[in-house]
Amino acid sequence: MRYSSIRPSHTATPRHASHRIASSAACRPPASIRLGKRWTEFQGANNWDNLLDPLDPTLRSEILRYGSFVQATYSSCDLDTSSPFYASCRFPKHSLLRLSGLPFSGYRVTRNLHATSGSCLPNWAAAAAPASLSRQTSWIGFIAVCHDDAELARLGRRDIVIALRGTVTALEWLDNLRATLTHPTPSCSPTHEPARTDPMVQRGFWSLFTSSSAAHRSLRDQVRDEIRRLLDQYSCDEMSITITGHSLGAALAVLTADDLSTMLGPSKPMVTVVSFAGPRVGNASFRRRMEEQGSKVLRIVNTSDIITKVPGFVDERDKERMVLNWLISKSGWVYADIGRELRVSGRRNANVVVCHDLSHYLQLVNQLSEVCPLVSQVERLPRGWRGTGILASDAL
């Protein structure tokens, strides 16, 4: 395996690589957990009412299962900045899931996905930095479809998964910082001046979603083409589309869901987002559009993770904050939280990196108690008590 000497916090180190792969494989739910005709409920048909408090054990297993697909994107990405293959996929498409720790997922990868940054390093930085740090197009995830008969029977439908990793390259970090809102589509009418009340999304995320390069079309176009192909191929089957990602990948998952819902129209399969540590993506009008289109978003949020509270501000409509809200509205930084939240909370930790780590999130979800549903078992341990294999942060 090739590992970088400079890694993002949410990737495995050599010391923990075997643990990460083993834990990913362990996320496969037992065959006895059958969704059957209730699969739409677990995909958010009723906005997960009566499933989050307490957390339903079947939904918990599905969240962990989708999280393991996101872990596979990190395991598959070459993070060695000295490698000529930096930020590319380390594994062949046909064996990606097996080699990244999911040999029994019941899915097969049908397409690799690449994202192109619209940002550029400043001239002084580009001259001094390794060529790898100025890489504009990178492998960011994959599309996979369930093909195993036993898993099809367990799920109750044929599921398409779109899995997206978080930030890796320097230019992706620059895109993260482009936090002003922009209109996701140009006006159809030359006489229509876009307004702040129209749907708007974070500028950097939108750039990563729609930019293309000489080698690769935009992430949006790649997803559109493959989803059309798969829906045609399995036109006789009951289908679902699940988009899952961590951090930047969670933001791109929301944009993907909105775009697919718009493209496919009312007769589309059910489109669901399962996001981990996702930042804010758009304004209230964007949220309303997603709700009207029927896209379902489940945000898993660690209460100690600051990334889930940025970018921008949430406009809270109360009289006491009227002046502040007016000032915020003029800034172009007014965002809205999208979807239902499943809040997890572990042992308080001042380390922002640890709080944002994907494996930390999955362990907190796995430790949620049915008795005390929105607080991790970790938080309920006696103060000062430490036990091997119990505290989520110990596993990082």
Annotated active-site positions, please?
247, 305, 356
CB 373 within 8 A of CB 351: no
CB 375 within 8 A of CB 369: yes
d(CA 368, CA 390): 12
What is the DSSP track for 211-259? Answer: ---SS---HHHHHHHHHHHHHHHTTTS-EEEEEEEETHHHHHHHHHHHH
Helix axes 57-76, 14-26, angle to 10 degrees: 140
d(CA 176, CA 154): 38
Q: How many CB atoms lie within 10 A of CB 301?
A: 20
What is the DSSP track for 2-19? Answer: ---SS--TTS--HHHHHH
Contacts of 53 (CB under 8 A, 6+ apart): 373, 374
143 three-class SS: strand
Element (H, E) at 344: strand 340-344
Beta bridge partners of 293: none
Q: Which amino acid is at 171?
A: L
Beta bridge partners of 298: 274, 340
d(CA 275, CA 327): 31
Element (H, E) at 139: strand 137-146
Please list the alpha-helical segments (H only) found in 118-202. 123-128, 149-155, 170-176
Report which of 193, 206, 192, 201 is spatially closest to residue 284, judged by C-alpha positions. Answer: 201
Contacts of 321 (CB under 8 A, 6+ apart): none
